[in-house]
Amino acid sequence: MVVITGASSGLGAALAKLYDRDGKTVYLTGRNRERLADVASGLSSKSKHCACDLSDPNAVESLFGLLEGVPQTIVHCAGSGYFGLLAEQDPQHIQSLIDNNLTSAIHVVREAVKRYQDEPVTLVMVMSTAAQVAKAEESTYCAVKWAVKGLIESVRLELKGKSMNIVAVYPGGMATEFWPNSGKMMDTSRFMSVQDAADMIYGAMSHLGNGHVSDITVNRT
């Protein structure tokens, strides 16, 4: 079984299709029940879905409690974008950005580690190249993405000698639905399509013998 957060759109939805196509049972979660059902309707009948507000730790606990058995892979794609000069950003949107990107990631990672640290579970954390560099007009977005990187690099140290593994994925320059309403003008015509990014990320992940691909950046050429 593969659990995918943020599965109602974008990279999450695209990765769900790839796992489903390969015969995996996918368990989709996201904030919007209708959009999840819509994505699920395009998958094989064994797929499941459940809406969840991942910024609520009790909801995250319940979500994982519903799973039958230990998932092989958890792909955390949930997140949202908010851009523009800091001086012009709105406090409510900033709060949503923190909830949707950082708070959610902490609760998902925490619940996964609590339950599965001694199991051969792969936790795939999809972030952004905004987690790796500073960018003007993306200050709060970089803040929450740097936070998630700091979180997982620290948790990796706590997982030394444990069976669970974390894979870090950094997509950059992807033409998502973030941009049109994001507050930052961008020409995304030369950006990667979500489908191409999903295909490349999916193809890049592997583990063999004592090793695995632990960190992947996909970017515009």
- Edge-to-edge strand list for the sheet holding 2-5: 48-51, 26-30, 2-5, 73-76, 122-126, 165-171
Between 57 and 67, name the residue whose CB sits nearer to a second copy.
57
Between 87 and 185, name the residue whose CB sits nearer to a second copy.
87
Between 48 and 81, name the residue whose CB sits nearer to a second copy.
81
Between 48 and 107, name the residue whose CB sits nearer to a second copy.
107
Between 29 and 122, name the residue whose CB sits nearer to a second copy.
122
Q: How far is the CB of 88 from a second copy (least distance, A)?
A: 8
Q: How far is the CB of 203 from a second copy (least distance, A)?
A: 6
CA atoms of 9 and 57, how far apart (whole Å): 22
Between 38 and 59, name the residue whose CB sits nearer to a second copy.
59
The total number of residues shown for the chain amounts to 221
Q: How far is the CB of 123 from a second copy (least distance, A)?
A: 12
Burial class (CB in 10 A: 0-12, 13-18, 19+), 197: buried
Q: How far is the CB of 188 from a second copy (least distance, A)?
A: 10
Report helix, strand or coil for 40. Answer: helix
Burial class (CB in 10 A: 0-12, 13-18, 19+), 53: middle
Burial class (CB in 10 A: 0-12, 13-18, 19+), 72: middle
Q: How far is the CB of 214 from a second copy (least distance, A)?
A: 4
Residue 216 in tokens: 């992947």
CA atoms of 108 and 3, how far apart (whole Å): 11
Q: How far is the CB of 133 from a second copy (least distance, A)?
A: 8
Which of 162, 151, 11 is CA-nearest to residue 81?
11
